[in-house]
Structure formats: C-alpha cells, structure tokens
Structure 1
Amino acid sequence: MARQASKSSLLFSGSDWDFKTLSRAYDAIEALAVEELHLDTYPVQMEIISSQQMLDAYSSIGMPLMYRHWSFGKHFLHQDLLYRKGGRGLAYELVINSNPCIVYLMEENTMALQALVTAHAALGHNHFFKNNQLFKQWTDAGAILSYLDFAKGYIVRCEERHGLAAVEAVLDSAHALMDQGVFRYHRPPRLSSERQREGIRERLEYEERSYNDLWRTLPASQQAANDKGQDPEWKKSLNLPEENLLYFLEKNSPVLEPWQREIIRIVRVIAQYFYPQRQTQVMNEGCATFVHYTLMNMLFDRGQISEGAMLEILRNHSNVVFQPAFDDPRFSGINPYALGLDMMQDIQRISTEPTAEDRDWFPDMAGQGNWREVLLDAWAEHRDESFIRQYLSPALIRKWRFFVLGD
C-alpha cells in the first residue's frame, strides 16, 4: 500500500514543467535506478524538441546528423501527413546510442510523461546500449556522432565536385543493399605468415599420413577443374565467401572511383550501427519498459509521485504495451514492448515465486530470488533470438498462444 504523499515530498506537482523540475526528477530517478536495479549508463544529454523537430528526426532515421537524400524527405512527408490527419501519433521521446547518450524529449509532454520517458529512454535504453554485447561488438558509441559529421560533410563535398545526380545514384544503390551490407558475426583474426606456414606444413604432414593410392584411380572432373568459381586462389583473391555485399563491392569493384567507395563505406557503417537494434528490439524495448514501470511504481510507493501523476503514467504505459488480438483491425504483429515486458516480469516471478513447472524448466534460477542479476545478465549477453529461446516460459507460451496446431 503506497503511503499518502505529502506535497513537500513530491518531485513535481501539476502538468507544467521547467528545466529545474526536470533535473530534480532525473536525479531522483537515476539514484533509484542505480540503487535498486543496479543500472550502469552513459552520461545523459537531454534535448527538448517540438513536434516538427521530432518529424525531422524521424525522417533521418533518428540521427541528429545525417547526409541529404531524397528518401529522407519522402519519409518526412509520409510521417507528417499521418500526424496531421491523426493517423499516427509521435513518439514521446527519441534516444541515440552515443556517449553521451542523447535523449530527445517532446516539449508538449506533461511533467508526468517527462518522468516516464526519462526512466524509459535515459535509463532503460541507455543501460541496454552500454552493456549489451551486440552493441559493444558492432557500435562505437563514443565515435558515431563525429563519424556522422564527417559523413555529412564528405557527401556535401562530393556533390559539389561530382554533381548531385552522380552522388544520388551511388546512395540509391547503396541504400538498396543496406540490409545485405552488415557483418552478422565477427571474423577470426588473420593468421600471421608464420602461423600460415605452420598450418600448411601440418596439412601436408596429415595428407602424407592419410594418403591412399586408391584415390589416384578416380577420373578427374574436368568441369570442376575448369570452373573458375571453384578455384581456391580466385576465391582467396576476392576474400570469398563474403555475405556483406557493400563491403565486397567497396573492396573489389573494378569500376568504382575512390569517392564512390567512400560513400558505400559510409552507408555500410551506418547500416552496421543499426544492426544490433534490429536484432534486439524485443529485449531493448522490454528492458526500457520494465525499467520505467518498476521505477515509477517505486517512486509512487515512496510518496514522490502523486496519485494523479501515477494514473497518467499508467494510462500512457498501458497504451504502449497494448497488444491487439489477431482479428483486431489494429493488429500489425507482436508488440515488442508487450512481449518484452511480459518476459522481464516473468523472469522476476520465476525467481521469487516459481511454480513446479517453472522449477522443471528453469532449475538454475527458479526460487533463487536473484531476479536483478538474472535480468542484468540477460540484457548483457543475449539478442532476441537467444533470449526468447532461453527464457520464454510455458506460462507465457499459453498466455500468448504461441502454438502450432497440427491435425
């Protein structure tokens, strides 16, 4: 039961806010996040923007700096039309995976909503960006903003020197291959010359030991011998096989000019920056939603948020995690906020109040009471695929009706 909050203990009262109130609320929320949830975040830089600026951010895929391309303008017009006609609202916030972590807050938000999105973005997303292994491997939060500044300036100089049409043609082609222009796994380091010679010597020794003269009697395949695509030396010269098409074109194209290769590299780096976000959508949004929901309830229980503010927070929270039924006209797939939050809360339940079924499925964490450690480890070590495979419980499978029926 939450105790009655006195006016002096409230972080804010009413819907209006100023920077002093915003700073006081952030300090209290951050202290609670570190103390109770053991979050570890980048420093935070908050920016207050208007709805028009939020639409601008939408058009440039959420980045504060971006080069010019017609596709961004097309996206802006689409979002602006939907917003003006009431077909779609705007996000309450936007967060950039950088160091410091940049959080954009809408100036139209009430103070209760600012507190909610501060906990969601400045702490939940921020912690996930900093600690998840996928982001550590593939993104450099400290360098992305300076790289985008370089990319924007470089493409402007290319447009001045080579013309808008030539630059646009390269960008069009590179954008079309962005989804196939990422590395999914880290490559092993290249072997030194000495290690390569040692490997060749070991392979020759093995072949001598396992040599069987019977194989000499088999007829050679003339087609395989003439197939250039199967020539090991030819493959080696092109570093084949290679799944990253943008990287392959950048390094091996015989017709690209140096400035065109650099533009392809810019698009490839940006595609790689967003790769972890596509791989962790359920986890990332689930982490942020769990953090804001938990922290807001803790603040209310401590008397630092009024009942009216808490009702507004819960109403907005419910809108975010709403999952339409499959036959609902609003259905567009699984809501990652809803599934992510359910899985985080289910891990908390299994750790504290497990059923017999939970003990069979999760013997290592059921009833241990260490839900904070389990969540922190999951947020750090998994992507959506591995997280769902490891932590989706039978209770949630039944709740979400994740069944395949065969008759």
Structure 2
Amino acid sequence: MTLLYTGTEWNFDVLRRSFDAVERIAEAELGLDTFPNRIEVITAEQMLDIYTAHGMPLTYRHWSYGKHFLQHEASYRRGFSNLAYEVVINSSPCISYLMESNTATMQALVIAHAAFGHNHFFKNNHLFRQWTEASAILDYLEFARTFIGRCEDRYGIAAVERILDAAHALSRHGVHRHGGSRPLDLAAEQKRERERREYDERVFNDLWRTVPAGRAAPGTDAAAERRRRLGLPEENLLYFLEKTSPRLQSWEREVIRIVRLIAQYFYPQPQAKLMNEGCATWVHQRIMTRLHETGQIDDAAFLEVLHSTTNVVTQHGFEHVGPEFNPYALGYAMMCDIERICREPTAEDRQWFPDIAGNGDPLGTLRFAWANFRDESFVLQFLSPAVMRQFRMFRLLDDTTDPTLLVDAIHDADGYRAIRRSLARSYDPGENDADVQVVDADLTGDRQLRLQHRTRPGRLLHGRDAEATLRHLATLWGYEVRLQEVDSATEAVLATHSAGPASAAA
C-alpha cells in the first residue's frame, strides 16, 4: 500500500483516492450498505446556508431562514462558534457537504463518517425506512419551493407568510407518531394537488352554505357521532386543520400540507441521534484505523484522527453542559462496548447480555442494532454497567415539595437498572413532547375547536407560550380555539387556555 496523501493539502485526486480507499473498507470489511454517494465541497458561507435550510440544499422562502442565517453568521464571525466539518443529507443519492478548509485527513475522516457511517444508518434504520423516502425528498423540496413561490406571486407574500408562520409554529404537532403516514411520492403529490384544485373549481357553489344540516338519528349521541365522523381524537394538528378547517382556501391547505410533510420527514432524526452519531463515529474511527494499519495514511495523519475524534467524544461533567449526555460520546462508547462484549465478555456481561456475549460477531451485532432500534430502546437494551461506570452515572430524585435533591441511584448493583430505565426514558419522544390532541369541533354550531393536553400535575404548559401557540392555531382554524390541560390519572382539569381569530389576525 502507498500513502493516499502526504501533508495537509488536498485536491480532487486526493479526494477520489481517499473515497475509494474508504469505500473498499466500508463495503468489504464492515459490510455497510449505503445509498449512492455524492460529495460536494463548499465554502463557509455555503455551509451557513445549509444550516439555515436545516441541512437541505434547497427550500422555499421564509423570513425565519434569513434570521437564522444572520444569527449563525454573526456567531461564526465573532468566533463564538465553529462550523461543522460536514453536513450529510438523508437522500438518494446521499449528499455529503465537505468544508473546503478541511485538511486532507479531515476530508477522508468526514467521508468515512458521513458518506458511509450516516449513509448506512439512514438507509437501514427502521425509523428512516418507515417514515422517509430518500429518493423523493429533493424533488419534493423543489415542488414545495415552486408552489409557494407561485402562491406568493398570486396571493401576496404577506398572505403566504401568515400561513407559513402559523404552520411552522405548529410543526412539532404536525406529524403522525403512530403510523398513518406514507413516504413522499412527488408524482402522487403533484397529481393530488392538481386534482384538488380542479375539484374545488368544478363543484363550488355558494348555495351549498344555505342547505340546513341534517339531524342525528333518534337515540344517537350527536357529539359522539360528530367526533366519529371527524376521526377524533387526532394528534396531528396540521393534518386535522388541512382536512377540516372551515376557513382555509385550497392553496392554504396545500401550504400546510407541505410544512407537515417536511416535518414528518425530519421526525425520525431526533429519535435516533444518539445511535446515528455513535454509528458514524464508530465507523469513521474503524475505517481510519484500518487505513493506518494498512499503510495508506501516515502516523501524523492518524494522530490528527485521534485528536479530532477525542474532541468529538469528550463528555464534560454535568456542571459544564447540563444533564444531557454528548450523543457522540455516549453513542460511540456504547458501540465500542458492544464490540467488546461480543469479543471479550466478562462474567457481568454474560449475565446482562446472554444473547450477544461472546458471540464473536460484533459487526453483525452492531448492524442489527443500527437497523432495529431507536435511542430509547437502544439504551434500554444495550447500556451496560461498564459504560455506566465509565460515565459515572447517577440519578437524582427531584421532589418539588422537598428543598433538597436526593441521589437515589448510583452506578452499583442496586442502581444499574434504575439508571438505565431513567436514561432510556429521557430519549422517549412521548416524555419530551406534549400530548396535545383535537377532541371536538362542532362545525354546525359555534365552530369552536377543542383540544386537550393530557399530562400530570407539575408538567403544565407555560401559559404565555400556550396562548401564543393557540393564536397560530386560531389563525388556521378561523374561529375560537380552547385547550384544556387534563390530569391523565384523575381526568381533573388543571388549566384552560383559549384564543380567538381576532387576536390571531391582529
């Protein structure tokens, strides 16, 4: 083997040789299965543009993107933050953006990290396979940008931004969390949008509003029948508004649909961040180690790899960064620990992980984990006592009636399982996202939209934030919106918030 490069300078021949060498190890030795790759080298300003568009190469226009660009640019120019070495997009082909200021070693490392580590995870993890269609997202973003641009030309920028502002504010509650969503299909979306517009133009007749509503059959519960017809309760607020809002025009429904489908596309990413970054870091470290072992990079380059990886996987104490773990650090540690358990298990490992301890197949075990788990289930299944001791984990009991904190579990025999359950729960989206659902809407009466937040005492929504969000909801609904916070255990109403269309219009 000859060196792929010497020194820190690179050119496109060096990138090609590095990519080919990384690809051989990724496919032949690690058995990674990836989308086709596309590598693009970009400037610092282009990287700031990528940040603004949530990592996507194109998107529709909105004032918030310019605001985010200025915030990132000011922070970068003043030295308060650095830019990423790379950004990778879950698409087919998988696009990896590399910073032009990277050294030759860092270009090889980020190719291994993004173009093969993240790429393999995107293609094989069940969350991404279920919720996203990698071959359609770029075409759909082009469709979204074109459609919203046409709406701005026809109806005015202010009218479009009014809908986008409200839809963006509700986007976290614009996803199907338990099925019911299909991956993007651009041809079907364009056909459906065209058919909806033609249908509205064909059947519109103002006389329909004068037809009296039918009465429910004797002996039936009118409210229950109304909720059944509307498919309530419904957790996807944007979906319900798109289908049911009595005041939205056809183009406004399509804009809402665009926002919620893009939100749905990004839905898996926060649920698998620990695993995704752990997978990519483990892959790049293994590949760069093999390049050094086979004489394709020299000692100086490998020392740079070790330095960079060490910085990435450093876990500071809780007094520096708060209670959350660095996903690179914990994810990488768990991947290395799984490899150790498969190769050289201890008696403790055999007791905790009888199915994988000593199986001699760490690569197969890791690929199985990457494909079939998300962060919550991965921690619950694979977090070992060894890693808990390495990270010095403990659990605090925070009782609001007690002025002191109690450490009720530490990394010992009595605390391992309690710590693992608590840490896994912290990655559960059900614990981190408010359970807000539409529970009723009387379209033939007062047209008030009624929502319910099922929670428990001590975990109520912030009053001002809740009411501000409801104003956006009222903007899209067109009538009064009322939200009740209900104790999940006792059904007691803990708080009530409301907003009307007049305040939303203001």
TM tier relative to shorter chain = 0.7 to 0.9
Q: Deviations over 1:12-42 (max 9, x none)?
A: 1111111111011101101101111100000
Q: Residue 101 of structure 2 corresponds to which residue in structure 1? A: 108
Q: Which residue of 1 aligns with 2:459?
A: none
Partner residue, 2:277: 285
SS of match in other structure, 2:408: coil
159, 178, 187: which one pairs with 1:185? Answer: 178
For residues 13-24 of structure 1, the aligned pairs below 5 Å read 13-24=6-17
- Aligned partner of 1:65 in structure 2 is 58
* One-letter amino acid of the counterpart of residue 399, structure 1: Q
Among 257, 263, 272, the alignment partner of 1:271 is 263
- In 2, the alpha carbon distance for the partners of 1:188 and 1:73 equals 31
Which residue, out of 350, 353, 357, partners 2:341? 350
- Of residues 79, 86, 91, the one that matches 2:72 is 79
The letter of the residue matching 2:136 is A
Greater share of helix:
1
Which amino acid letter does the alignment assign opposite residue 290 of structure 2? M
Deviations 1:62-97 (A, max 9, x none): 110100111111111111111011111000001010
Query: What's the offset of the Cα at 1:403?
Result: 2.3
- Number of aligned pairs? 362
Q: Distance in 1 between matches of 2:362 and 2:236?
A: 38
CA distance in 1 between partners of 2:301 and 2:9 (Å): 12
Deviations 1:164-210 (A, max 9, x none): 11100100000011111111121499xxxxxxxxxxxxxxxxxxxxx
Instruction: Kindly provide the amino acid, as one letter, of the partner of residue 170 in structure 1.
Output: I
Q: 2: distance between equivalents of 1:319 and 1:73?
A: 31
Contact 2:343/2:357 (CA < 8 Å) preserved in 1? Answer: yes
SS in 2 for 1:397: helix
1:324–1:331 contact (8 Å) kept in structure 2 = no
Q: How many Å apart are 1:401 and its aligned residue? A: 2.8
Query: Do 2:109 and 2:284's aligned partners in 1 also have CA atoms closer than 8 Å?
Result: yes
Partner secondary structure for residue 319 of structure 2: coil
Q: Deviations over 1:122-155 (max 9, x none)?
A: 0000000000111011101001000000000000
Query: Matches of 1:277 and 1:248 in 2, distance apart?
Result: 24
Determine the C-alpha separation between the residues in 2 that align with 1:254 and 1:293: 55
Q: Are the counterparts in 1 of residues 131 and 181 from structure 2 also a CA contact under 8 Å?
A: no
- Residue identity opposite 1:299 in structure 2: L
The 1:165–1:108 alpha-carbon spacing in structure 2 relative to 1, beyond 3 Å, is same
Partner of 1:403: 394
Counterpart contact for 1:93–1:106, Cα < 8 Å:
yes
Deviant stretches of 4+, over 4 Å: 225-229
The question of 1:322 aligning with 2:324 is answered no
Partner SS state of residue 327, structure 1: helix
CA distance in 1, matches of 2:66, 2:323: 25
Are the structure 2 counterparts of residues 277 and 48 from structure 1 closer, same or farther at C-alpha, using a change threshold of 3 Å? same
Of 121, 124, 142, which residue of structure 2 is paired with 1:131? 124
Q: Partners of 2:83 and 2:221 in 1: how far apart?
A: 55
- 1:251–1:396 distance in 2 versus 1, CA, 3 Å: same
The AA in structure 2 aligned to 1:347 is I
Which residue in the other structure is 2:161 paired with? Answer: 168
Per mean C-alpha deviation after superposition, the further-off stretch among 305-314 and 396-405 is 396-405
Q: Which residue number in structure 2 is paired with residue 192 of structure 1?
A: none
Give unmatched runs, 5+ long, in structure 2. 183-218, 396-406, 410-506
For residue 73 of structure 1, give the secondary structure of its aligned residue in structure 2.
helix
Instruction: Name the structure 1 match of 2:89.
Output: 96
Local SS of the residue matching 2:267: helix
Residue 368 in structure 1 maps to residue 359 in structure 2: yes
CA contact (8 A) 2:341 2:356 kept: yes
Alpha carbon RMSD of aligned pairs, Å? 1.6
Tell me if 1:309 matches 2:301. yes
Give the Cα separation in 1 of the matches to 2:292 and 2:170. Answer: 48
Structure 2 SS opposite 1:378 = helix
Cα displacement (A) at 1:333: 2.7
TM-score between the two structures when normalised by the length of structure 2: 0.70
